[in-house]
Amino acid sequence: MAIIETSQIANGLTLASVGMPSSHSISIGVWVGVGARDEQENEIGIAHFLEHMAFKGTKSRSALSIAKDIEDVGGFINAHTAREETAYYINLLPEHLEMGFDILSDILLNSILPAEEIERERGVIIQEIGQSIDAPDDHVFECFSRSCYGKHTLGNSILGTTDSVSSFRAPELAGFMQRHYGAEQMIISVAGPVSHTQVTSLGNRYFGALGRASNPTRHPPEFLSTRHVASRDLEQCHTVFGFQAPDACSEWRYPLMVLTNLYGGGMSSRLFQQVREERGLCYSIFSFAQMFTDTGMFGVYAGTSDKTVDEMMEVSLRALKACQHDLSQEEIDRSKQQLRAAVLMRRDSVSSMMDVTARHLALYGRVFERDEMLAAIDKVSRNKVAELAEMIISGPPPSLSVVGPAASEMQIRDMQAILA
């Protein structure tokens, strides 16, 4: 069983160790509590740009040296930017634990943001933006975020726009880093055959000099019920519709996970069976839930023919409406078992345990133990899931985004009428 310990060092940085003695690798992650939603109006995409630049040179290492140092010992380094966090992580063999701390501290404390690398990476990110737009099943989710949150920063693209990315220079990148990359905003999570004493010692040695920064000021968004259709010459309509949902700290988060699974989380789910198997209306369909610190969304993605997109939405909405009153205990039990299995299976992976430990600390200030999570899943009742479905449907009207042939005539009022 993994042994999880946490502590803080003098500058306010949080350290977590997940002792997994039988593992043959370690995963080290640095979670920074700032993401795309924390950007100012003239900074859209800067958190993601800065994440790219972290690997492009420090006072003592070139971009190539960073890559070689990791790959020479068979390691892997990467990062991601999300709406509420940016994370940097390394997977290594246990004997290279200190090297992992050394490299992560170097790229986060000593980046020099060389001008030639900024220009090169600017081109890479602009290509990434173009690739995302060219991938309709990705682009429709960006459109959906804007449909839900409008001009609120949760509605902005994580990648930014070509115009915004073209405007960033070293002073803007360094300024964003100085404002938000402070000790109190960081969590270091390490999973593998390590002790908390090791993690504390290395955390102090490599991150103890890190100063403080300001916490981002976040304002809860209003959920907007809007319809966005981007007409494009494609074979399929890529459709996302969804609703306001509970936030990540809500007591409803486990019922939401159960509802998401049984509604559209697998081949036995209502959406897969009713939309694909019984009617053949699409190849790909699933439900999803995304929870932030102060709000959430619950929705459906489907890729379908322009001739069947409205029928697909009607069947999907009726399936959700039915969740208010005719849930079977078999569905509830199956969904809960899927969640239990996910909790248990990820405990075999150092990367997964590093990730979930950091996420829990960022959201809740503590780590939920395995048995505590399993008990919370077991506690979810059929009545609670039905109540949540009713709460979602009776909340703000849904939002809708479609990318593809502009054949959908479904309006928000039509969706509400189906759910009434």
User: Can you tell me the distance from the alpha carbon of 165 to that of 407, in angstroms, rounded to the nearest whole number?
Assistant: 33
User: Can you tell me the distance from the alpha carbon of 3 to that of 237, in angstroms, rounded to the nearest whole number?
Assistant: 47
Can you list the pairs that 134-137 forms with residues at least 24 positions away whose Cβ atoms lie under 8 Å? Answer: 136/232, 136/234, 136/236, 136/238, 136/403, 136/404, 137/238, 137/301, 137/303
191 forms beta bridges with 18, 27
Look up 372 and say whether it is catalytic. no
Backbone angles phi, psi at 330, to 5 degrees: -60, -45
Closest CA to 270 of 335, 364, 352: 335
Closest CA to 116 of 170, 164, 154: 170
Contacts of 202 (CB under 8 A, 6+ apart): 97, 98, 101
- Ordered strands of the 14-19 beta sheet: 3-8, 14-19, 186-192, 26-32, 86-92, 76-81
Tokens describing residue 205: 């040695």
135 residue type, one letter? A
CA distance between the termini of the chain: 48
Q: Which of 5, 39, 41, 51 is catalytic?
A: 51
Q: Which residues are catalytic?
A: 51
